Amino acid sequence: MKRFSAVVLAVAATVLLLNGCMKVAPSPALPGGGKIVMFVIIDRGVENGFTDYQIKNRHQLGAFMDKDLVAMLSKAGYEPRLIQKRSEYKPGKNSYLLQTRILNYNPGSKAARMVVGFGAGSVGMDLKYELHGAGKEPLLSDKIGKGTSGEWQYLVRKLELAILEAVSAKLHQTTK
């Protein structure tokens, strides 16, 4: 039992350390010091035929992403606004919509990650994201996916950082 507790503590400390050390891509600076308003929608990607377990996992992921992505955008210098429907997005100058959809999620096996290690029971996730401005066509659209033998929160954070990096790079080009 002591060994199990030590392993859990080590994994938790590693996740916290890595999350704290990750750099967030900064938003572009606007004339006059204003902030870019970023409306955010996280689509859980729940489909007909999903089991209760799959639905629960998607909602858990979505709830985590709602808070975490908004916090990351704020840390990067954006003014994030979490919305539930696209109709809540108000296009305008320095106002964008970031839509993210969970395409695939494999929670893996926490027991296998803890006991076996070496990638056993790894977590995998695929997302699609789009950045919209005032026009109808997205300014940026991509699918990304990753896997990890770590905890699912770490994987979500890695994907969010990749999205934020791409969005900030695109907006740095757009606002020049």
Amino acid 128 reads K
Q: Say how far apart CA 26 and CA 38 lie, in whole Å.
A: 13
pLDDT score for 18: 44
With a pLDDT cut of 70, the percent of the chain lying above it is 79
- Residue 68: which pLDDT band, with cuts at 50, 70 and 90? very high
- Residue 106: which pLDDT band, with cuts at 50, 70 and 90? confident
pLDDT score for 176: 62
Which three-class secondary structure state does DSSP give residue 75? helix
Q: Say how far apart CA 24 and CA 52 lie, in whole Å.
A: 34
Give yes or no for residue 165 having a pLDDT over 70. yes
Give yes or no for residue 73 having a pLDDT over 50. yes
* Average pLDDT value for residue range 39-57: 94
